[in-house]
Structure formats: structure tokens, C-alpha cells
Structure 1
């Protein structure tokens, strides 16, 4: 047998072997198309972007289209109307809808910490939340979780919103009045927080440390969602979350890609902070404690009548297999 023939046979054998391996792969190798409607394009939702850009959904046989609704209610409405299989926003919106009879539940965790911080000008003396009394505080326009949590913290310390001079601004613009000196205290999300830190502001309160586990943002779906698509989606998200914990540099690179107009150093600092403080969860699981703490905030504000039933509201039939998978 000549060398040329041997080379041709080797090439054919390799091609056949590759075909056999590909054919013997998982039964869900063919892509299924699904859509997720996110409330906003947000740094908080980085686990979703890692799952998309890192190919974790693709490996589960899903072709996922991301849509941005502009608000949590609009994102959830996309699921209720059938224009999207999944939505991403605070679980309180789903709980309120379910309380009113909508057939929606939560199927996976995305943000598991109260991702809100209080920043101040560098010359502010801050020894505790009581120091904000009679001070001008800038915060996001209600309804928003950041301002709701600020109100909750005031109440827990014997104060009320009337004890501060609250300036409500559109979400994401809190840094303007703070840097301009119109207010020396601001209640903030990321990446605004680390944008402020880059300008010399200091972080004085971290709600993730205050409240621990907190179901802040999650994936919702109708109870009639295709179970196979839901299982694949949760499995892909779980693998993305594991990847984020062990590959912080690559995770930050994906964040920079998703937010190209932000300063790279700010993006890196925000990702590091949210990984370190447990804002980005280690798994898709949602514990009873995390749900209870989050829903208590909404009950206190009058948005929700009672705690949703954990065993039915959190759909563990998708979460448990994802946690068990290697």
C-alpha cells in the first residue's frame, strides 16, 4: 500500500470516527429555538450573558434569542402572551402575577444577593444608617428594589422615608447628583456604584452582606412551558454559573463585550464585587430563606399579600437535575 493511499484511508477513517462520535452524542443535539425576555440589559443579568456568549445554551441544544422588554412587567407579559418562553426580572413580579391567578412560576436563580449599595462622598462621616437622617439621598424612582430596600433599612432602624430628603431619579442616573455634589449619599446598583468609586466616592453599606441570600432576579416561565426546553435552559444556566465562579477573568471579558461603552476597569471591578459578595449565585437553586427574605420586602411595601408557597412557586423539577449534572 502506498503512502498516498494510506493517508487517504486515514482521512476517511477519521471522518467516519468523527461522524460516529457526533451521531452518538446526546439526543438533544438538534437545536430547539426559545426566547427569553429580559427586563433590561443589566450587569446583574451577567449569568444569562455568560450562558449565551459562552455557548452553554448551545451545548444543551438550545438556540436562545434574547429580547429586552424595557421593564419587568413587560418581560413577564411576553411570557404570559406566549411571545417568549422565559423572562428575567425580580421574582416578586411573578409572585404578584401568580397571586392574581396567572399560571407562572420561577424555574431558576440568576441573582441571589440584594444587589444594592449605599455610596457617599469621601468627606461624609458615616458610622451607621442613622447618619442619613435629615440628609439628601438620591435613589432610583419607585417602584424599584434599590429604593425599596433603602426604605426597609430605614424602617428596621426606627426611621421612615420622611426622615431623609429623598431625590428620586431614573434608574442608572443616581451617579449624576452624587458626583455633582447635589447629594452626598446615593443608593445604587452596579455598574453605577463602581463608576462612583472610580470618581472617589466610598461604599458605606452593602445590602448583599446585610441580608445574605436574597432572591433578587430569576427566570420565570408558564407552567405549560415545554419541559424539555426548560430543563435544557436551566442546565445551561447552571453550567454558566459554575463557570463564572471558577473563571472570573473570562467572565469579566464577557461583561466587557456586553457593555462596550463602559470603562473596562469599572466593568471588571463591578464583576469582581458581585462575585465576591455572592450576588452572582453558585447555582440555579433558590432556597426557602432566599425567597422568604425577598418576598418579605414586597409584603412590607404592600405589593404582595402573602408569601408564595415555596414547594409550588419554585419549580425544582428543573433545578435538581441541573444541580446533579456534571
Structure 2
């Protein structure tokens, strides 16, 4: 049986813009796997929003992310690409982060070249570290992995700071340092989106952010460009947030859920998603 890292490597190498939904918890990961997605992304922004109730401004810690990885990896069998922010420090910290992520069950890590504290890639006011410093983080990440197939994804946020030419130059340097995949964040026009996939020799990730800086791109267009994955990091969280707001707002106004029954998962769907039949079978077996 191939490892999760080998499966993720193979998926991205197809360059078919695999749909990569994000999850902040095991429940959403169960839904993603149950719907037949090949892989999932554990989103740092989503974990920060849902776990801390805070914005994506560099508040989540490495140990908190590792706890989430372990729980989610225990719940699903699909490979997990995990947000590693800036590596949570210098190259030595990055080395430790990769070891911890891999041990917890990640199949790959995404690290970025923002200065600390980092921000969501579609926020304003970002800053990036020197490319030389990021190169050393990538080298540390590559050296620290135990499974050679564990995917090291290098993200650059340089477009917003220095423009597309610097972002592409950085991506080339990160590939030379050993990155398996690169991720040029927040291109704001279709021409640059196409350039990224055409000019960089390794698989690329495009980040669909609803309401973000990048224009919407049809999935077939992204496939024709040869992207490795189309990332929907927080679509599930945004859908859940709107539903919770609407349902609890109706409850507050009317004291009833009758007007929002269509927005509620059935009792049966809820129990199926958390795999209650599996636990029932275990209980029966061991009783």
C-alpha cells in the first residue's frame, strides 16, 4: 500500500487541478472524504477562525496545528496537505515543524515566505522575508522529512509586495532549493495565473478565495493550464458560518426551527457523518 505522502505526490503530479477542499476539523474532513474527494487541506486560517475565533494574523501555534492534524488524520484515510504558515520561526523551527507534522499524519506541508506575524494571503499589509532566508527554510524542510515523498510546498506572497516578476523569481529559487510544488499566492489577473503554471517547472496550486484578490477561474481553464490543484481552503467554513448565522438568527427571532428546517442536516445525516454505525459495530463486537 502506498503512503499518504506518495498518494498526494501522485495526485499533484497529474496536473489536473485536483479539487482540494480545506477543513478546520475532523467533522468537515469526514464530509470531504465521504463525498469522494481524493485529498484535503488543513487550513491554518480555518483552524484559527474556528478554534480561536480569531482572524488569520499569525496567532495559531505549531503545537495547536499538530493537535488538529493528529485528530483529522485519525478520522480520515485521504492524504492531508497542511498549512505550515511560516514554518513557525527560522529554519531550525521549520525543521522541527516538518518532523512534527509528518509524525502527526500530514502528507505534505505548505510554508510561506511572509514575515512574522503572517497574514491571510488575501489581506493587505503583508511583508515578505528575503528570498535567501526562505531558501534555507525549504532546505531545512526537505532535510527533516523522513518519507522522501512527503510534499514540501513553497508559497510566496511576493506578488502583493514586489509584483509578479519577483514572485516568479522567488518560486524558481524555491524549486532549486528542493520544493516539490510551488504556490504563488493572490495573482490578480488571468494572464499572471497562466504565466505561473507555464513558467514554473513543478506542479502549482491556485487558491480560490471567495471574495479574495484573485479573479474566479473556471476549473476546466485551470486544468488546461496544468495546475496541480485548485485550493478551496475555507469554502466549507464559510458555508457553515452562513448557515449557523441564518439558523440561529431564525431561532432568536421566532423561537422555532420550523422556518429553517431545510438548512438543517437530518439526525441520520449527522450520525452517518460521524460514522456512528462503525462505533455501534465495535461496541457489539467487544461487548
How does the TM-score come out when normalised to structure 2?
Answer: 0.28
Higher relative contact order (CA 8 A, sep 6+): 1
Q: Which has the larger radius of gyration?
A: 1
Higher strand share: 1
How does the TM-score come out when normalised to structure 1?
Answer: 0.25
